[in-house]
Structures are given as structure tokens and as C-alpha cells.
Amino acid sequence: MHARTFLYRLEKENPMSHPHDVLVVGAGIGGLTLALQLHEAGIACRLIEAVPRLEPLGVGINVLPHASRELHRLGLGPALARVAVMTREAVFYNRFGQLIYTEPIGEAAGYDVPQYSIHRGDLQTLLVEAVRDRLGVDAIALAHRLIAFDQDERGVTATVENRSGRHRIRAGVLIGCDGVHSTVRAQLHPDEDGVRYSGYTMWRGVTEWPRFLSGASMVRAGWLTTGKMVIYPIRDNVDGAGTQLVNWVAELDVPQRGDRDWTLNGSVQDVIGPFENWHFDWLDVPALMRGAEQVLEYPMVDQEPLGRWSFGRVTLLGDAAHPMVPRGSNGAGQAIVDTRALTDRLRATGDPVSALAAYEAQRREATAQVVRINRTNPPDAILREVYERTGDQPFNRIEDVISVAELEAVLGRYRTVAGYSKEALRSTT
């Protein structure tokens, strides 16, 4: 089906015959997963995406158990296992390479599903293939940019621009899955305050590197005041000799240098200084950083949680609803959890307005809590505590600095707020 036919079908279809006919704006991780959830629930949906091509952009992300459970439920477990690393442990070090704490994660911690470390492009590609296989090869209309929308008692009309001009698309419901620069959010909240800079910027890259530690370890090291790193493998055996593709993130306390652009090129020379002496017996950090073919730079920003997501037949999902500081591996995960909540509410009621309100009631404050804890006490807070208690000096015994109970309390509190404690997952299906 060509784009013109796609638009004609949407314009001519009577939304009253399909009260939950959903137009999904944005084919990122949230929008694609939502399409799969809706399809499984028997709810008709279409996606529009502004970019002309879906390319495997970005670097690594983590899929925590609350999100991977949803992907497994959609039958994507085997595909994830082929392209991702099943992460087994989280390890915390100071900047002198001293081990602070090791925590099993995913299946190694007793969850029913793994935690995955994966290239964002690999995850998006996997989801795109699943959407086209299940919903049809033309389920995603590319190069279709949302301009505006309006609604009435019977549905939503979206004005969309493509190569042939502007068109009107009619649907029963519109979901803004269009990311941190959301057009849907901007129309719903035209007077919203801007972004909030955390004071830190991150530089990211991927490097082919021999296996280190367990080969499935997620490393957090250092602290923000002097430089912090997050390092983990995202592809296994990329050369047939056991080499992995390793994702690394370096964070520094600097004035804001740019806007929110996930594809902004950076330079390793701008960030490597504080890490030049990070030569540990398990990893040569500066060599890892210099081995990246491309470095991306991103200001660590978020926005104040909104007081409202849903307006009649229109609502927000993922980064469009709750942009957060990228800590705790939770941005994509919270979007995936959103998709299940929204689909369940649409499936449960024949009134889309009530369904969207119920979805918001379930997810808005829950995600606001994640936005707030990512600012103050993400899992990385362990590093802050050790940094402050030692005065940024090596320690003799970590037990003399901080107890295991304190360490576990920090991590347990974050799991509870973010919704992926084992207790929380056992209580939901």
C-alpha cells in the first residue's frame, strides 16, 4: 500500500465503527511497541513517522525486567536473545578501580525474564520488523509529519504533511509517541516551561572490545564531580573471536553545551581528560573511549512532570509524556510499560475518553516519581555516597565506608519506585 492509499483509507474510515481505531504518532520504541500491543488486543492502529527512513541510530540502552516482560509477552524473546546481551550483574567501582558492590540482575537475580543490554538501533529494527510482519508492510507511513490535530465527539482529525502536501487523517484516538520534541505535547501544553538541565552532559560511544569481567556486566564507576562512567556490552561475538560491542557513557559537570539532539556529534577530546588515568586491571578506560568510531554528546535534561496527559481522545506516551534524565536505564522501559497500561485500558472500555483518563491515572504519577528519583537517587547514588564518605580517596575496606544494607536500600528503593521490584512484578500480570 502506498502512502496516498494509506491516507485515503484513514480519511474515509468511519471512526464510529472502530471506536478505538488508533493513530500512533512516532515510530520509536514506544510507538512501535504500542502498535504491537494494540494489534495483539485486536485494536486497529496505524503509525506515522516524520523521518523518511528508519535507520539503526543511537548507542546502547538497557531493557529492565518490567519492560522485557512485555516484550516477551509479545513473543519477542527469541529475537532479543539473538541480538542482545543478557546482563547478569551490576557492578559499582570508584574512580580508582576499587569494587564497591556487585548485584545480580535479570534472571541471575531470580526474575522470570532477562535484563537485556542492546544497541538501540537493534531494538528498533527488531520492533519495526515485528510491526511490518504482523500489521502489514505498510503499517508505518514514513515521511509523514504531524502538523496539528483537532477533535470532536466522534474522533480526532490530524493534519499531516508529506511529500505531496498536507492531508487530513481521521482516527478514533491519537497517541503522541513523538519523543522529547513532541508536536502533540506542544499543542496540548503550549505554555509549558522549557527543559531543566541537570548540570551534567554525557558523551556516548560504542567500541569493539574483548570481554571483560563476566562478559555480561553493567559497570558504573566514579562520580559526577570528577567524572562518571557507565560501561556495558550490547552485542556478543561481533568478530567470530568473542569480541563484544561495548557501550560506554562518560558524564561530566559542565555548562550546558547544546540542545536535546540524540544524534549530535561530540569529540572524545572534550571528555577524556578526567578518565586518562583509569587504567584498571579489568579495563583500560581511555583506550576504550578512543576506540569509538563516533562519539555522541547529549545534555542530561528533563522536564517538570505534567499535571495532565489526556485531553479527550488524545494522550501522550513515553518521552513525549515524561522525559527524564537518562539515568537508571529507565527511559525506554517506562515507555514500554506505558504501552501495556494504555492497551489494557482501551481494551477494557468502549469509551476511549474514559480509557485514556484511566491510563493517565495509572501511569502519570508513577512516571513522575521516576523523573524525580532520577534527579536525586538513581542507582548511581551508591557512587555518590562512597565519594562523599571517602573524600574521593581510595578505601581499605568498603565495609568501613558503607554497609551492604545501605547499598541494598538505595538499589531496592529505586527498583520499587521504577516498578521493577520482584514483588511488584509478581503482583501484576
206 and 279, same domain (yes or no): yes
Residue 370: its pLDDT value, please? Answer: 95
Same domain, 286 and 223: yes
- Cell numbers at residue 340, please? 501495556
Q: Is residue 421 part of a domain?
A: no
Establish if 270 belongs to a structural domain.
yes
- Collapse the DSSP code of 334 into the 3-class scheme (helix H, G, I; strand E, B; otherwise coil) and give the result: helix
pLDDT of residue 424: 84
The CATH number covering residue 169 comes to 3.50.50.60
pLDDT tens, position by position, 359-389: 999 999 999 999 999 999 999 999 999 999 9
The C-alpha atoms of residue 45 and residue 286 are separated, in whole angstroms, by: 47
**Domain-embedded: residue 409:** no
Residue-by-residue pLDDT tens, the chain, 429 positions: 444 444 434 444 333 334 469 999 999 999 999 999 999 999 999 999 999 998 877 889 999 999 999 999 999 999 999 999 999 999 999 999 999 999 999 999 999 999 999 999 999 999 999 999 999 999 999 999 999 999 999 999 999 999 999 999 999 999 999 999 999 999 999 999 889 999 999 999 999 999 999 999 999 999 998 999 999 999 999 999 999 999 999 999 999 988 888 888 999 999 999 999 999 999 999 999 999 999 999 999 999 999 999 999 999 999 999 999 988 778 899 999 999 999 999 999 989 999 999 999 999 999 999 999 999 999 999 999 999 999 999 999 999 999 999 999 999 999 999 999 888 888 776
Residues 40 and 134 in one domain: yes
Tell me how many domains the chain contains: 2
The H or E element spanning position 95 is none
- 89 within a domain of the structure (yes/no): yes
Q: Is residue 273 domain-resident?
A: yes
- Does residue 332 share a domain with residue 268? no
Cα R_g (the chain), whole angstroms: 22
> Do 78 and 41 fall into the same domain?
no
One domain for residues 279 and 215: yes
pLDDT of residue 212: 97
Are 312 and 298 found together in one domain? no
The domain that contains 114 carries what CATH number? 3.30.9.30
pLDDT of the residue at 4: 40
Secondary structure letter of residue 279 according to DSSP: B
Domain boundary among 274, 302, 330: 302
Rounded to the nearest 10 degrees, the angle between the axes of helix 29-40 and helix 331-348 is: 30
Burial 3-18 (b: 16+ CB within 10 A, else e): beebbeebeebebeeb
**Residue 328 confidence (pLDDT):** 79
As a whole number of angstroms, the distance between CA 29 and CA 376 comes to 26
210 and 224 share one domain: yes
Q: Which residue pairs from 152-159 have beta carbons closer than 8 angstroms and sit at least 24 positions apart in sequence?
A: 154/15, 154/16, 155/15, 155/16, 155/21, 155/313, 156/23, 156/313, 156/314, 158/23, 158/25, 158/48
| 262 inside domain | yes
Q: Tell me, yes or no, whether 128 and 201 share the same domain.
A: no
**Per-residue model confidence (pLDDT) at position 239:** 94
Nearest to 416 by CA among 89, 61, 66: 66
Q: Which domain holds residue 321?
A: 3-57+121-194+307-376
